[in-house]
């Protein structure tokens, strides 16, 4: 008797949903064990996390506050991942978007006609994110420099640049030494819709739907899918691979930059510490758990936002480290990855002699 | 000590963790496995190593704990990528995401009740520089010979791993696995077992790098103590062309950037600290671009040909 793995021709729909769901449950189980070892009651902790994140209107609005950047960066990352461009720089693109948006609000805003201020702030964030992602994008497509490292290093650079600005030249002289810029004029504020949750939330369905339509219904999206599946095949089809990758990466950075613009215009109303809370990294988990499906990303982002708010909640209520939320999120990925064996391959137990030709040898995946 | 000697001494101290992790990652990548979990492994071994040193006040137990944790995390990466055939980039990223989250969780939980269960601000056993009588007076030389035990270990590790990789039979086997696993398999090498072994061995060295941070370089635990070193290492592996002997140059370069940062900050320059702190990250990008450009020019390929490809043995 032998066990063989056959590469699936197409991924089974049921499994596509079952693996993330099961992974979430396994991560709950593993987190439960971590909690037990840490000396806390897992059921009580999870219940407290859930009620903290979704149980009250205040908690739910905080969950939405986190969902907005998470969903946007999740969509941004997923778009790049579709092309196997490993953009782990959403964090930096978000920060740079926030910086550009703040620049418009602080320095152009007072002299602009009021209705123009907010749209320009948002546009600036969009453009700055694209610009920041364009660096690794160009390096990758022109010089084939590895994008994983460049996107990651630029995170640090963007975060340090923001620090320089709010500790240095942009620091509010009336801020009592508080590290942050002066507050924006009100024309640059995104309207609040529910608690602290702001109108930036509307970008999520719009971008998710556009992303879905792009991939499923347009020629360009079709080209992107081919590039993602096999760059070589795409080249033989006459698709401009490098140009398409660059365009998608610019768009990916722009969406992450938009998230940054929403953070400063919707939440803090100034450039200050706490713009980089690791959303760009959680975005990777979200994109992967959604299996890069843009329509699933908002819901997974909501779940992850809830876990983060719940993590803060158990810190206040039960004295557990707030990093509990991050641990839970990290634990989700491992069962997901192990499960990819079942989404990519069909497992067959053969008895006796089977034909050798039935067994597929795996081509490498970079 | 004169200025050059002191800069060199800091450079070597800062470079120690980088060399450990770079050599570890070279072994792993030579076996065809790309491990992007270095940052997470270093953080986890730094926090557990420090916790062990705080409770036992025994530096060797601390190193053992750190190494065991690093090996376990690398084993997880090997299991996911070799046995479960998960994408190596995503698996490595997961190890880093989980490792950084869990390390900060442990840092807020493993401490004593008197410190609110936190590890920050505590003192444990640590490695002290040790040198022979008289040597600490000699310029330049004293920079090399007034270091801690782990740094001395690095001095031995660099030539030893070079010798292993290029002059021994198992080293040849290892290189062949990264270049052409099918052929290696045909030669009778157990490719799967070797991939596990070298991924875990790599994890052990990466963990030593993490342990050096919390037990010697900046003794104690601080959130994000690695500051991206795990990622710089990924670039250093490329910089050293997957050759352990060359890992020295990259580590000296980045250790040197750290040392210069130190000196400039101490001397009170008007360059804002944030820009000085950007140097290692900008340097990494510059190194990557130059190496890629140079590789294209000289038509030399440094990377193992089968790096980050899943290997599946054909059914026999």
* Chain position carrying tokens 């799967």: B192
Which residue does chain A place closest to B238, by CA atoms? A146
**Neighboring chain B residues of A150 at a CB cutoff of 8 Å:** 285, 288
B277 touches chain A (CB under 8 A): yes
**CA-based nearest distance B59→chain A, Å:** 25
| CA–CA separation, B146 and B109 (whole Å) | 35
Q: What is the pLDDT of residues B290-307, one digit of tens each?
A: 988 888 887 776 788 888
**Partner-chain residue, chosen from B86, B98, B277, that has the shortest CB–CB distance to A340:** B86
**Cβ separation B93–A359 shorter than 8 A:** no
CA A249 from chain center: how many Å? 14
Domain ranges of chain B: 3-126+135-298
**Partner-chain residue, chosen from B85, B231, B278, that has the shortest CB–CB distance to A157:** B278
**Architecture of the domain defined by B3-126+135-298:** Orthogonal Bundle (1.10)
**What's chain A look like in SS3?**
CEEEEEECCCCCHHHHHHHHHHHHHHHHHHHHHHHHHCCCCHHHHHHHHHHHHHCCHHHHHHHHHHHHHHHHHHHHHHHHHHCCCCCCCHHHHHHHHHHHHHHHHHHHHHHCCHHHHHHHHHHHHHHHHHHHHHHHHHHHHHHCCCHHHHHHHHHHHHHHHHHHHHHCCCECCCCCCCCEECCCCHHHCCCEEECCEEHHHHHHHHHHHHHHHHHHHCHHHHHHHHHHHCHHHHHHCCCCHHHHHHHHHHHHHHHHHHHHHHHHHHHHCCCECCCCCCHHHHHHHHHHHCCCCCCCHHHHHHHHHHHHHHHHHHHHHHCCCCCHHHHHHHHHHHHHHHHHHHHHEEEEEECCCCCHHHCCCCCCCC
The pLDDT of residue A355: 46
Residues of chain A with pLDDT > 70, as a percent, come to 94
B31 touches chain A (CB under 8 A): no
Closest CA to A342 of A22, A26, A1: A22
Out of A271-285, A291-305, A342-356, B272-286, least confident range: A342-356
**Neighboring chain B residues of A4 at a CB cutoff of 8 Å:** 315
Quick one: pLDDT band at residue A11, thresholds 50, 70, 90? Answer: low
Which residue does chain A place closest to B110, by CA atoms? A38
**Neighboring chain B residues of A364 at a CB cutoff of 8 Å:** 306, 308-310
Listed ranges A49-63, A184-198, B193-207; the one with the highest mean pLDDT: B193-207
Closest CA to B24 of B247, B226, B257, B312: B247
Q: Which of residues 222-251 of A touch B (CB under 8 A)?
A: none
| CA–CA separation, A143 and A136 (whole Å) | 10
Q: Which residues pair with A4 in a beta bridge?
A: A348
**Partner-chain residue, chosen from A4, A145, A152, that has the shortest CB–CB distance to B231:** A152
Report CA-CA distances (Å) from B35 to A104, B92, B151, B206: 41, 5, 24, 11
Q: What is the pLDDT of residues B81-122, one digit of tens each?
A: 998 888 898 899 889 989 999 999 999 888 888 888 888 888
- Average pLDDT, whole number, for chain B? 89
CA A243 from chain center: how many Å? 23
**CA-based nearest distance B119→chain A, Å:** 12
Quick one: pLDDT band at residue A360, thresholds 50, 70, 90? Answer: very low
**Cβ separation B234–A2 shorter than 8 A:** no
The pLDDT of residue A341: 75
């Amino acid at each position: 008797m032998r066990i063989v793995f056959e590469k699936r021709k197409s991924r089974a729909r049921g499994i596509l949903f079952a693996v993330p769901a099961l992974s979430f449950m396994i991560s709950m189980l593993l987190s439960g064990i971590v909690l037990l070892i840490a000396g806390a009651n897992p059921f009580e902790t999870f219940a407290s996390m859930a009620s903290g994140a979704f149980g009250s209107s205040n908690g739910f609005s905080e969950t939405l506050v986190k969902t907005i950047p998470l969903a946007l960066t999740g969509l941004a990352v997923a778009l790049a991942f579709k092309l196997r461009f490993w953009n782990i720089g959403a964090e930096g693109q978000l920060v740079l978007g926030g910086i550009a948006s703040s620049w418009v609000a602080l320095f152009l805003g007072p002299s602009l006609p009021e209705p123009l201020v907010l749209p320009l702030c948002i546009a600036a964030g969009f453009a700055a994110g694209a610009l920041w992602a364009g660096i690794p994008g160009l390096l990758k497509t022109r010089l084939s420099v590895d994008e994983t490292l460049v996107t990651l290093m630029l995170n640090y650079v963007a975060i340090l640049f923001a620090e320089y600005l709010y500790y240095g030249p942009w620091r509010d002289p009336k801020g009592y030494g508080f590290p942050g810029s002066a507050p924006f004029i009100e024309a640059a504020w995104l309207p609040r819709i529910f608690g602290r949750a702001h109108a930036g939330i509307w970008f999520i369905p719009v971008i998710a739907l556009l992303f879905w339509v792009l991939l499923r219904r347009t020629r360009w999206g079709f080209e992107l899918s081919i590039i993602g599946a096999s760059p070589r095949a795409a080249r033989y089809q006459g698709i401009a691979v490098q140009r398409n990758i660059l365009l998608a990466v610019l768009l990916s950075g722009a969406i992450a930059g938009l998230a940054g613009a929403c953070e400063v215009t919707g939440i803090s109303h100034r450039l200050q510490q706490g713009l980089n809370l690791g959303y760009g990294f959680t975005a990777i988990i979200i994109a992967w758990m959604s299996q890069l499906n843009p329509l699933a990303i908002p819901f997974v982002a909501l779940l992850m936002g809830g876990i983060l708010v719940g993590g803060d909640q158990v810190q206040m209520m039960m004295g557990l480290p707030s990093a509990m939320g991050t641990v839970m999120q990290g634990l989700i990925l491992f069962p997901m990855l192990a499960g990819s064996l079942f989404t990519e391959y069909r497992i067959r137990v053969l008895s006796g002699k089977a034909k050798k030709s039935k067994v597929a040898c795996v081509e490498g995946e970079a | 000590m004169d200025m050059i000697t002191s800069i060199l001494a800091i450079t070597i101290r800062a470079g120690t963790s980088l060399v450990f992790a770079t050599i570890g990652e070279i072994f792993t990548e030579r076996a065809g496995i790309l491990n992007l979990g270095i940052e997470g492994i270093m953080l986890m071994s730094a926090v557990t190593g420090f916790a062990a040193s705080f409770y036992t006040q025994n530096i060797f137990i601390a190193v053992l704990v750190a190494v065991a944790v690093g090996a376990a995390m690398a084993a997880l990466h090997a299991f996911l990528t070799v046995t479960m055939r998960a994408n190596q980039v995503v698996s490595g990223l997961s190890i880093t995401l989980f490792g950084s989250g869990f390390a900060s969780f442990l840092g807020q939980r493993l401490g004593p009740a008197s410190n609110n269960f936190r590890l920050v601000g505590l003192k444990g056993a640590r490695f002290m520089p040790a040198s022979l009588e008289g040597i600490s007076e000699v310029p330049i030389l004293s920079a090399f010979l007034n270091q801690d035990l782990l740094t001395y270990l690095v001095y031995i590790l660099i030539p030893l791993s070079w010798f292993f990789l290029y002059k021994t039979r198992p080293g040849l086997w290892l290189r062949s696995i990264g270049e052409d696993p099918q052929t290696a398999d045909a030669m009778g090498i157990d490719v799967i077992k070797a991939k596990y072994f070298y991924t875990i061995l790599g994890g052990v060295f990466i963990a030593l790098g993490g342990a050096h941070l919390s037990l010697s370089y900046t003794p104690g635990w601080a959130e994000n103590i690695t500051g991206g070193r795990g990622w710089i290492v990924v670039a250093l592996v490329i910089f050293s062309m997957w050759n352990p002997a060359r890992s020295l140059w990259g580590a000296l370069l980045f250790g040197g950037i750290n040392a210069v940062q130190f000196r400039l900050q101490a001397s009170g320059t008007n360059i804002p600290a944030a820009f000085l702190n950007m140097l290692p990250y900008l340097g990494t990008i510059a190194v990557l671009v130059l190496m890629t450009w140079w590789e294209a020019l000289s038509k030399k390929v440094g990377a193992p040909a089968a790096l980050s490809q899943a290997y599946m043995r054909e059914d026999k």
